[in-house]
């Protein structure tokens, strides 16, 4: 834990979590939701195929996929609402997203869901401002022609979202675009496939010891320009720059195609009309799953017979598998038996770098479309228009340190807002203290230096029958709603393949017991009559086995024994496997199946390994017969 974390913990423990609701205590969370599993399940007791822990976007996406796969599923949510680190509230007929908010069509998973449910988008006015300014050395700064002489022509010629902008805004946008390009130099090399970061781990891991502050310190920036750039990263990192990895920001930039306007659009421009809860509710309505709110999980036990999940009231649920859709920072606060991998636990205890604040300030007075920035050490790093109006409106602001300002105190915010809008009055504020919430312990995930190369792969791995989902574990838009959906769907598919595969293998074994079918010509009858081992169904979920089939999510396994490692045609292997010499021998396959991440560190195979030696031996024998 960093020094700032320690100071923060010492201060926030003196604040009641009820205060964290602040003026939001008068809000209506949408929806409060209805528990659908207050009575024992029809199958008998609290016995399910899958228990999903957490009803954020990852948990709800996983529950929907699992239910649609025919698996009896229950979702256990500690809070009295769905949403996780998204939280749509209503006040005076308006919706406010106090947590995750912005979406974009370049985010494939969330956009697929928005299209599926026919939802509309709304625009945040300050994302395309009429004015851009920032606070530096006690003065209000704006961009002029001399600041952007080399790039202002490009800004004037820009089409789309910049068309029609005033000169000051164009100049400020051009200046920011240049500074952002300089800061992110090398992003295309580090992340040529930003939705698959482990494809280029050899490149970005060399930079993973650097923080955002390290990178800023290495740039030759004037005080004014540094304050402007720090304002952007104050909102993006939402935490101390020394605690936020430089490669995380490189990844964000690569996801935007190294384009400042697209970066701005996907991170702060478009939101779901009516709030994120509209999408979440639509997904939940499609989920054939039970839901229990106000049900914190205390302990998860597993053995060869299955998994048992205990709530803090002692209620017990049994299942064949668990999806732990919990934030990284919360994992260490739940008991697991057997214990989780030490790397997982250490990363959870260290926590990621997202510990800042997001606040809405409702204002009286004329509110233009503007965006304003300030340095990391200022109480609020970025502020922009949420609702413009001639008589009043709302701004959204972000800060890196929740102890730098009481965001629930309108009078504390007013002098900061008046730096940019001197005529306004702050009437009230709306905010939620995510760092004080024990079920989030932080804002969105921004990994610390070293965590992406040192912990992310392990954080993503299953632990036996317990699988992990959440925005914090996503490969692409980690920290966004899109990443949560990506992770939830992927994890559900893995669990469904595992559980339904085992059920299918039992049916196959029953057919085999009734007598072998005639073997096709040229195939050994004894080999064809043996039912594949149950664990082989896990392989077949991603790997084809027919001699003429192409690759799927994984390479074709036909003839794998004796074949050179990473040599199946038509499949792009991870560098960790592509660099392995020799052929797949039974011994090599046994070692890989036991622990893929140890055999090939950085492998992209989303499989935690077979812990049972007999299962591994049976699968290797089955693989040897695929000829």
Q: How far is Cα 329 from Cα 351, in angstroms, rounded to an integer?
A: 5
- For 32-101, the DSSP string reads ----S-SS--TTSTTB-SEEEE--SHHHHHHHHHHHHTT--EEEE-SSSSS-TT--EEEETTEEEESS--
The confidence score (pLDDT) of residue 26 equals 40
**What's CA 523's distance to the chain center, in Å?**
48
**What is the mean pLDDT of the segment spanning 371-397?**
96
Q: Quickly state the pLDDT bin for 179 (edges 50, 70, 90).
A: very high
Q: How far is Cα 193 from Cα 100, in angstroms, rounded to an integer?
A: 25
- What are 519-545's pLDDT values in tens digits? 333 334 343 334 567 667 667 667 888
**What is the mean pLDDT of the segment spanning 212-224?**
96
Of 35-39, 239-243, 561-565, minimum mean pLDDT range: 35-39
Q: 481 CB contacts (<8 Å, ≥6 apart)?
A: 57, 86, 100, 103, 107, 110, 276, 471
More confident residue, 213 or 175: 213
Q: Could you give the angle at the alpha carbon of 402 between the alpha carbons of 425 and 295, nearest 5°?
A: 110
Q: 397 CB contacts (<8 Å, ≥6 apart)?
A: 358, 359, 360, 361, 380, 382, 383, 384, 413, 416
Q: Quickly state the pLDDT bin for 577 (edges 50, 70, 90).
A: confident
The confidence score (pLDDT) of residue 596 equals 81
Percent of the chain topping pLDDT 70: 80
How many other C-beta atoms can be found within 10 angstroms of the C-beta atom of residue 412?
15
- What are 118-164's pLDDT values in tens digits? 999 999 999 988 888 899 989 998 864 344 333 444 444 443 444 44
Please check the confidence at residue 5 and state whether its pLDDT lies above 60: no
- For 243-297, the DSSP string reads GSBHHHHHHHHHHTTS-HHHHHHHHHTEEETT-THHHHHHHHHH--EEEESS--E
- For 166-233, the DSSP string reads -HHHHHHHHHHHHHHHHHTTTHHHH-SSTTSGGGGHHHHGGGTT-BHHHHHHHS---HHHHHHHHHHH
Q: Quickly state the pLDDT bin for 175 (edges 50, 70, 90).
A: confident
Please check the confidence at residue 510 and state whether its pLDDT lies above 70: no
Q: 174 CB contacts (<8 Å, ≥6 apart)?
A: 143, 148, 151, 152, 154, 155
Mean pLDDT of the chain: 84
CB 466 within 8 A of CB 300: yes
The confidence score (pLDDT) of residue 578 equals 84
């Amino acid at each position: 834990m960093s020094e700032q974390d320690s100071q923060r913990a010492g201060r926030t423990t003196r604040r009641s979590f009820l205060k964290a609701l602040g003026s939001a205590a008068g809000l209506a969370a949408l929806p409060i939701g209805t528990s659908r599993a207050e009575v024992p399940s029809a199958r008998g007791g609290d016995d399910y195929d899958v228990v999903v822990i957490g009803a954020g976007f990852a948990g709800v996406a996983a529950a929907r996929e699992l239910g649609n796969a025919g698996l009896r599923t229950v979702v256990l949510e500690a809070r009295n609402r769905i949403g996780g680190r998204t939280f749509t509230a209503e006040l005076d007929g308006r919706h406010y997203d106090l947590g995750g908010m912005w979406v974009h069509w370049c985010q494939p998973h969330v956009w697929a869901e928005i299209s599926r449910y026919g939802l509309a988008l709304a625009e945040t006015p300050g994302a395309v401002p009429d004015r851009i300014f920032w606070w530096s050395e006690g003065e209000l700064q704006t961009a002029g022609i001399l600041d952007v002489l080399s790039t202002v022509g490009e800004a004037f010629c820009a089409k789309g979202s910049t068309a029609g902008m005033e000169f000051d805004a164009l100049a400020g946008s051009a200046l920011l675009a240049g500074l952002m390009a300089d800061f992110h130099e090398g992003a295309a090399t580090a992340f040529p496939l930003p939705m698959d970061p482990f494809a280029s781990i050899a490149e970005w891991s060399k930079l993973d010891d650097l923080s955002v502050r390290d990178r800023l310190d290495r740039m030759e920036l004037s005080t004014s320009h540094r304050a402007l750039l720090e304002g952007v990263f104050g909102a993006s990192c939402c935490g101390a720059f020394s605690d936020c990895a430089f490669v995380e920001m490189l990844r964000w930039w690569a996801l935007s195609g190294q384009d400042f306007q697209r970066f701005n659009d996907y991170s702060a421009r478009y939101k779901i009309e009516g709030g994120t809860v509209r999408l979440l509710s639509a997904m939940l309505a499609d989920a054939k799953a039970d839901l229990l709110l106000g049900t914190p999980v205390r302990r998860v036990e597993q053995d060869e017979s299955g998994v048992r999940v205990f709530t803090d009231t002692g209620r017990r649920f049994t299942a064949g598998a668990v999806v732990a859709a919990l934030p990284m920072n919360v994992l260490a606060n739940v008991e697991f038996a057997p214990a989780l991998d030490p790397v997982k636990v250490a990363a959870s205890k260290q926590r990621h770098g997202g510990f800042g604040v997001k606040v809405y300030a409702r204002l009286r007075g004329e509110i233009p479309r503007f965006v304003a920035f300030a340095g990391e050490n200022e109480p609020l790093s970025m502020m922009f228009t949420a609702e413009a109006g001639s008589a009043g409106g709302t701004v959204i602001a972000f800060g890196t340190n929740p102890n730098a300002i009481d965001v629930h105190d309108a009078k504390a915010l007013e002098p900061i807002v008046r730096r940019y809008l001197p005529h306004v009055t702050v009437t009230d504020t709306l905010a939620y203290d995510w760092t004080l919430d024990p079920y989030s312990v932080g804002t969105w995930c921004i990994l610390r230096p070293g965590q992406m190369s040192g912990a992310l792969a392990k954080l993503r791995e299953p632990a036996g029958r317990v699988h992990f989902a959440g925005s914090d574990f996503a490969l692409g838009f980690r920290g966004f709603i899109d990443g949560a959906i990506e992770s939830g769907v992927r994890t559900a598919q893995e669990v469904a393949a595992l559980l339904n595969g085992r059920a299918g293998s039992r049916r196959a074994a029953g057919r085999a017991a009734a007598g072998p079918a005639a073997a096709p010509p040229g195939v050994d009858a004894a080999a064809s009559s043996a039912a594949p081992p149950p664990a082989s169904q896990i392989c077949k979920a991603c790997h084809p086995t027919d001699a003429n089939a192409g690759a799927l999510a994984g390479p074709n396994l036909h003839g794998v024994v004796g074949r050179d490692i990473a040599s199946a045609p038509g499949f792009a292997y991870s560098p960790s496997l592509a660099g392995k010499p020799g052929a797949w021998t039974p011994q090599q396959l046994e070692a890989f199946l036991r622990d893929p991440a140890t055999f090939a560190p950085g492998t992209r195979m989303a499989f935690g390994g077979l812990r049972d030696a007999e299962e591994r031996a049976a699968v290797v024998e089955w693989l040897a017969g695929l000829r």
